[in-house]
Chain A
Amino acid sequence: MMNSMDAPAMDRAVTRIAHEIVERHPDPEPLMLVGMRTRGVPLAERLATRIEGIDERRVPVGAIDISLYRDDLAQRPHARMQPSRIPEDIDGAVIVLVDDVLFTGRSIRAALDALIHYGRPAVIELAVLIDRGHRELPIRADYVGKNIPTQRGDDVRVSLLESDGEDCVGVYEERMARGH
């Protein structure tokens, strides 16, 4: 296992993304952060806290579950579904979708489909902590914490204080990941 991001590095990455979001969408643009379940949600909450620190601006945070929109539902059992929560009307809003790892892009595609069932946002952007490459759809992130080159079969695991008790990102090489 290679430790690709420690807690201070993660902290800096989140702070930098928060600055970039504020710069691109100054007050009073109707901004909303939507975390993808599960680890995108605590990341979105952290970004909201940072943005409040920079700009004294409360940004609503939502959560989206993509279980019903996955394109591999017929092939594999689905994870346990959790409720989505979109706190405000999204018509005309600037939505920043937040996820921990950007890989094939298929989860993002599913999240976009789910989001537009709530209304018609002005813009949807994407913020990810890690971009590990190997896209299978024409999707890119607007804000990236760190680009990590990986092999396709590697396993990239983001641990967060809120869900896993520590902040770090580990890359497990293919043969180790398989044995795991």
Chain B
Amino acid sequence: MVTEPMAQTLTSQPATWQAAQVPFDEPITDWRHRHLLDVDTLSKDEILRILSTASAMAEVLNRSVARTPALRGVTIFNLFYEASTRTRSSFELAGKILGADVINVSGSGSSVEKGESLVETLNTLSAVGADAVVMRHHASGAPWLASRTIDGHVLNAGDGQHAHPTQALLDAYILLQEFGDLSGRKIVIVGDILHSRVARSNLWSLTTLGAELTLVAPRPLLPAALAPGAAEREHPLSLPSVQVESDLDEAMVGADAVMALRIQNERLRGKLLPSSAEFARRYQLTAERVALASPDAIVMHPGPMNEGVEIGVDVAHGPQSRIEAQVSAGLAVRMAVLFLLIRGGS
């Protein structure tokens, strides 16, 4: 099994948080969410339920036959309008391990190229019996539209600059596995916050879990809602309260975890940044900067990485990096989310 060594790293450390979450004879409660559009509607208990289910799913990956019949008879469509390697393949594998039929539809090579609208495409998927649609789209809110259009479950696999809930959940999984509890833990997110749906979703889930978040970015790469003074103006798009910092060295002091975001060249188009070399000089996660953090701090990145731009090559592959573990955690977390959404409610 290709997944075996990765899965072992996931289950090798007994995590106290997951045992603590599961008392004997807990009443069987319905999972109340039909869709996963973002993490902002999830309570702390619900996030922990997803993550403890994910830790049970990680064990499934170690079996000599990593297949289960839990979603037998269920049809899942992966509808991806944007490029993706890890999210799409891990959603596909997650569905297959749970016994579902998974069908991939991408923007290119489908009727989308012939001008079919999103709603038409969704209606077609509904008509052929989609029980769930996993969706990535360049427009923020497209999965919300889908949830209003089709009968099945909708899972947001990344929409525009809005949300990437499964990425945030797998990040929380890695952090909880490392620290057991996030209360008071200092987590730094550095890079292009403005365009990052990963950062936006992480803002919600990590603050819900009690972490102290510091965002570091050059001013043009910060959303208006987070710009200094935004909180006082009661910005309509207000986000959870976090620290905002422009000096990475200062933010790194005492950090328990630091997450570097990808510089999205396709979205910046040279407008907001003078050059990637200038960005790297001030904001690259280098070994010297990591050394300013707590000695057992971990380094994360949602991928794909521009090594040598937002993160140093030695840091990306060093002992404090959890970047590979993030990828394998993604599989277990997506299995948990599919299982809870499709089988968690009556």
List residues of A whose CB falls within 8 A of some B CB.
Answer: 38-39, 65, 67-69, 73-85, 113-114, 116-119, 163-164
Contact = CB atoms under 8 A, between A and B. Distances in A.
28 contacts: A38-B24, A38-B25, A39-B24, A67-B56, A69-B68, A73-B70, A76-B28, A76-B346, A77-B343, A77-B345, A78-B343, A80-B22, A80-B26, A80-B49, A81-B57, A81-B339, A82-B56, A83-B56, A83-B59, A84-B56, A84-B59, A85-B59, A114-B68, A117-B65, A117-B67, A118-B63, A119-B64, A164-B25
Contacts of B30: 77
Contacts of B26: 79-80
Interface string B44-78: 00000100110111111001111111100100000
Interface of B: 11, 18, 22, 24-26, 28-31, 49, 52-53, 55-60, 63-70, 73, 98, 339, 343-346
A118 B64 contact: yes
Contact of B343 (A39, A73, A80): A73
Given A82-B56, A163-B24, 13 more contacts: A67-B56, A68-B98, A77-B28, A77-B346, A79-B26, A80-B49, A82-B22, A82-B52, A83-B56, A114-B68, A116-B65, A118-B63, A164-B24
Nearest to A115: B63
A114 B60 CA distance: 10
Contacts of B11: 83
A48 to B, nearest CB: 19
Contacts of B343: 73-74, 77-78
Contacts of A114: 68
Given A74-B343, A76-B346, A81 B56 contact: yes
Contact of A113 (B69, B73, B98): B69
A82 B56 CA distance: 5
